[in-house]
Structure 1
């Protein structure tokens, strides 16, 4: 009987931990996707169907869409103390400048390639993890 109860408690804890990990992974992926969409949107400012579509993706992943992160504000002044979305945009902007994105077919940086280079980098993954403390507890 004690063994059965211990096994059930272990299973419940394992499921709870797996769910929490899954929620953290989902939040991280959402913020990464936001960063990629913002990287692309910032580089294609001219009106086009692609720019409009990418802009909608930014909105969907952002705090006013289905965002999974809290924006930290001073409750008295409403001053923003930390915004994971703004921090991600700042990170992606700086990393984009460092990305090569070069091609033998073009003299200018290939935007999609450079944005994907940032998106797929270990450094971006590490940055995204620094935002974990702002994940909404209700996911």
Structure 2
């Protein structure tokens, strides 16, 4: 009986740990997708169906959508103390500006290519992991 109880307890704990890791991975991916959306949006100068679609996607990945990170506020003043989404936009913007993505066919930067370079970079993954402390716990 005691072995069964210990086994059941260990199984439950391991399932919770796997579930927690899956939640963390999902939260990280959502924040990365949010960053990619904003990276691409930065290049639009005109309204279009594509811009509207990307804006809606970015909204979905945000705190007010289905984002899995919380915005930390002072409870009394409601002053924002930490916003993982704003920090992600800032990180992506800086990284985009530092990314070379020119084409021999155009003098303009290839926005999608640059954004994918940022999105797939180890530096972006490291940044995303720094936001783990703000993941909403189930």
User: Which TM-score tier does this pair reach, normalised by the shorter chain?
Assistant: over 0.9
Compare 75-84 and 100-109 and name the one that shifted more. Answer: 100-109
Is the 8 Å Cα contact of residues 45 and 51 (structure 1) preserved in structure 2?
no
Cα distance in 2 for residues equivalent to 1:106 and 1:18 = 47
Cα distance in 2 for residues equivalent to 1:72 and 1:45 = 32
Cα distance in 2 for residues equivalent to 1:31 and 1:45 = 24
Cα distance in 1 for residues equivalent to 2:127 and 2:14 = 27
Cα distance in 2 for residues equivalent to 1:118 and 1:99 = 7
**Counterparts in 2 of 1:1-139, with a 5 A limit?**
1-138=1-138
Cα distance in 1 for residues equivalent to 2:45 and 2:59 = 15
Cα distance in 2 for residues equivalent to 1:131 and 1:45 = 30
Q: Could you state the TM-score of these two structures normalised by the residue count of structure 1?
A: 0.94
Deviations 1:104-128 (CA, angstroms, capped at 9, x unpaired): 2221110000000000000000000
- Unmatched runs of 5 consecutive residues or more in structure 2: none
Larger relative strand fraction: 2
Is the 8 Å Cα contact of residues 101 and 114 (structure 1) preserved in structure 2?
yes
Cα distance in 2 for residues equivalent to 1:105 and 1:15 = 53
Q: Could you state the TM-score of these two structures normalised by the residue count of structure 2?
A: 0.95
Deviations 1:21-73 (CA, angstroms, capped at 9, x unpaired): 00000000000000000101111131111111111111111111111111111
Cα distance in 1 for residues equivalent to 2:133 and 2:36 = 21
Aligned to 1:45, the other structure's residue is in SS state coil
- Unmatched runs of 5 consecutive residues or more in structure 1: none
